[in-house]
Structure 1
Amino acid sequence: MKKTSHNSAPDPRLTNSFSEYAPRLKRFLAARLGNEIDAQDLAQEAYFRLCRVAQPDLIREPDAYLFRIASNLANEFLLKKNKQPFTVDIDTVGESLAEIDGMSFSDKLEQRAEIAELAKILDQLPPLYQAILLLRKRDGYSHREIAEKLNISHHTVHKYLKRALLRCRTLWVELET
């Protein structure tokens, strides 16, 4: 197997994967992080990490691998951010509390909290369940398209999607209680 050093050119499969999925990856990260600037930075870091993989020929699904890297980066980023002291700029408090984009500040906070809880739930799923669930619910792929993309049977997609949804519901109820 060939090894990729830091000085050699990245595997074209990986760079093509990033080019194809970059807009969706940035939206995914923006939803997790709550802003596009950090999403842009983490998308770029995910790409760099993808290019530094020692044995890129072992990656069967570069797009799924890229999203896993991005998800891990987002989790690390949020953990570090939550450990930093919270500061308030008194000049912007009034603006923040005002209605923005049709949602109140408290509604936005609640929505972000729910997104963070959902991210934690998704991270508890087995990788294949997570990939199937995200491809279906976030990306809108059909069962047949997911089966082809992941090289598994249509029946397996259906079965794992049901299990993933059941597990998510169970974990969500546990969080609520």
Structure 2
Amino acid sequence: MSTLDPSTLHQLYSEHNSWLKGWLRVRLGNAADASDLAQDTFVRVMTARHTTPIREPRGYLSAIARSLLIDKSRRRAIEQAYLQALALRPEPVEVSPEVRLSIIEMLVSIDTLLDELGTRTREIFLAVQLEGLNYVAAGERFGVSVTTVKNHLVRAMTQCLLLVET
């Protein structure tokens, strides 16, 4: 597996960058964000491993861009939820831009981790960790045994530990 050679990447960029920016501008509503996301798309292409030639460049580019759009939307939603939570605190909280960025990045990582757990594991993990359910109560709520609850929690905690290690 290898990355695209520079001449192929240059040709892909020259032939499809304007089209991609237009495609993104329609979805985002402004040229600046479209340019940024188009650039991010080509960075992904540049760093991706390619085993075969790209046969449908616009389909390939739009799939990457669509994924980046989803990531951007999720990040924006997480950031808004964080800011709302700060606003609801009884005492004002001042957070430096660096700390805020770090917190948002960690929240995005946690959101991604939770999304990758699978529905049942995520629900059990959140019920135990956030709602304080014990294993028996979680088992009753989800109609599973205590052993199954423990297995789901081991899976979730393992993923959490992997996130902390990275």
Give me the TM-score of the superposition, normalised by structure 1: 0.41
| Higher-Rg member (1/2) | 2
Give me the TM-score of the superposition, normalised by structure 2: 0.43
Larger relative helix fraction: 2
